[in-house]
Chains A and B, each alone.
Chain A
Amino acid sequence: MTDFGFTLSKSSTLDLQNVDRERFEQLCKLEKGASVCIGCGSCSATCPAGILSGMSVRKVVLAVQRGQDVRSMLQCCMLCGKCTMVCPRGINTRNLILSICSIYG
């Protein structure tokens, strides 16, 4: 193969029809609230780990919806429960986080 000094760049496009929703559906069974997230970001704004590590429960939920591997995204969670306190949809985010951990193993 000729070396041209450049190659095809990987597209960042999300191909929605090929997204695997299975784990999100599993999650909705374990934590019903997962389905009603509106992505408001209150959880992430108030997270004591997020300001230091970049952890974001909002992004985790979105990533599960988009079929991505989120294992590394929750490592800094301390299960303090502050996100549960602020969620306007009343999602039990502690249960959400633990459920995600059990689904992804």
Chain B
Amino acid sequence: MLCTMIYEGKQRIWSEYQKDIPDDRWYYVRSCIRQNFFPASEKMFTEITRNVLGKDIYETPHHTTCGGIAYHCDTIPQETAMTIVARQFALMTEAGYENYCPSCITSFGNYVEILETWREYPELEARIREDLWKACRREFNKPRYLAHSSDLIYRWRNEIAAKATHKLVNGRTGEPLRIVEHIGCHYAKMFPSKGVGGAEYPYVLAGMIESWGGQVVDYPERRHCCGYGFRQYHVKANRGYSMSNTYKKFESMEPFHPDAIITNCPGCPYFLDRWQYVIAEQTGKTYGENGFGIPVLTYEELAGLVLGYDPWDLGLQLHQVAVEPLLDKMGVEYDPSAKYLGLNREDIMRPELPGSIKCF
């Protein structure tokens, strides 16, 4: 840990926010947007959990959006989101699973909020059951356990560490890499008790960083929103607000010289990554070393690197900020000429490179 911070104080808080995460048999639902933003992340989740760790992770092509993004953009009422969620639970029930694992943070928050609302207002749950039956003749059990997919990787972080081919250590200096962990707002800010480590000092990503050999950077604006904020970005006139929040975070983390940022939300890595380019274009400022940005990864991508997957199979060429400085520090081997080859080894074309921030 950097700074003079009292580590035991955080451990005490972490110990108060532990949740039960069963070891196996999970019903997995993908995010609406992650496959476009960071296409290999969810693929890596199923690859690592099923093939490396041998877990039963079930997916069905019949699942839809959870309605969370529309609910948070104020385009549907919560009852509609609840009926959509009820259908998702029905699919889980039909498949014979009890543990529900969404890949999206807003989705996780949406499920938690709905389950808590039903606990508080059982009559509402009864009405939604009726609505679901009328709409599609389905019935459901509520999940016994609900965990975000980052909770699962957290649960299995030490198993991943045991199989690691690369540590979060600077191969040149032997020092632990300094990693910023950024938690999606909807993970625990609404219901702190539902997140690993709570909401003020979440441990879900910090635990992975520690387990994989890195050092967690705790900077003053750690808890601040990434800036995406749905309507702050989706309404173009407000987009400056979105970027300004991201800017605030970068200005705050800059003195700590982070080697990378990891996140557990669909929007956060996208905006922390892409806004670095826009900020560089508009202000000339870059936050990494030698004119580069700070690489921003999803936790699945980072787990993939730790387990020795090829960075281009992890989709790291789709990041705006160049990831090569991080790969070099970790000692990950990669073929620069293969960066823009598709899975079929054919050229997927090269992006135009900006002048303001160094990219490959």
Whether B239 is near chain A, meaning CB under 8 Å from some CB there, is yes
Q: Are A1 and B243 CB-contacts (below 8 A) given A6-B236, A11-B248?
A: no
Contact call B281/A9, Cβ cutoff below 8 A: no
Distance to closest chain A CB from B104 (angstroms): 26
Contact call B282/A4, Cβ cutoff below 8 A: yes
- Interface residues of A, CB < 8 Å — how many? 9
Contact call A6/B243, Cβ cutoff below 8 A: yes
Contact call A11/B236, Cβ cutoff below 8 A: no
Contacting A at CB under 8 A, from B215-253, are 236-237, 239-241, 243-244, 247-248
Contacting B at CB under 8 A, from A1-25, are 1-2, 4-9, 11
Q: Are A4 and B281 CB-contacts (below 8 A) given A9-B241, A9-B244, A11-B244?
A: yes
Contact call B243/A8, Cβ cutoff below 8 A: yes
- Interface residues of B, CB < 8 Å — how many? 14
Whether B337 is near chain A, meaning CB under 8 Å from some CB there, is no
The CA-CA distance from A8 to B281 in the complex, in Å, is: 11
The CA-CA distance from A9 to B282 in the complex, in Å, is: 12
The CA-CA distance from A11 to B249 in the complex, in Å, is: 13
Contact call B248/A4, Cβ cutoff below 8 A: no
Contact call B236/A8, Cβ cutoff below 8 A: no
For B238-275 the 0/1 string (1 means CB < 8 A from A) is 01110110011000000000000000000000000000
The CA-CA distance from A7 to B278 in the complex, in Å, is: 9
Whether B283 is near chain A, meaning CB under 8 Å from some CB there, is yes
The CA-CA distance from A33 to B262 in the complex, in Å, is: 53
Chain B residues within an 8 Å CB radius of A9 = 240-241, 244
Distance to closest chain B CB from A71 (angstroms): 29
The CA-CA distance from A9 to B245 in the complex, in Å, is: 9
Chain B residues within an 8 Å CB radius of A6 = 236-237, 239-240, 243
Whether B169 is near chain A, meaning CB under 8 Å from some CB there, is no
Whether B13 is near chain A, meaning CB under 8 Å from some CB there, is no
Whether B332 is near chain A, meaning CB under 8 Å from some CB there, is no
Distance to closest chain B CB from A14 (angstroms): 14
Chain A residues within an 8 Å CB radius of B278 = 2, 4
Q: List 17 A-B contacts (CB under 8 A).
A: A1-B281, A2-B282, A4-B239, A4-B281, A4-B282, A6-B236, A6-B237, A6-B239, A8-B240, A8-B243, A8-B244, A8-B247, A8-B279, A8-B283, A9-B241, A9-B244, A11-B244
Interface of B toward A, CB cutoff 8 Å: 236-237, 239-241, 243-244, 247-248, 278-279, 281-283
Q: Which 4 A-B pairs have the closest CB atoms?
A: A6-B239, A6-B240, A9-B240, A9-B244
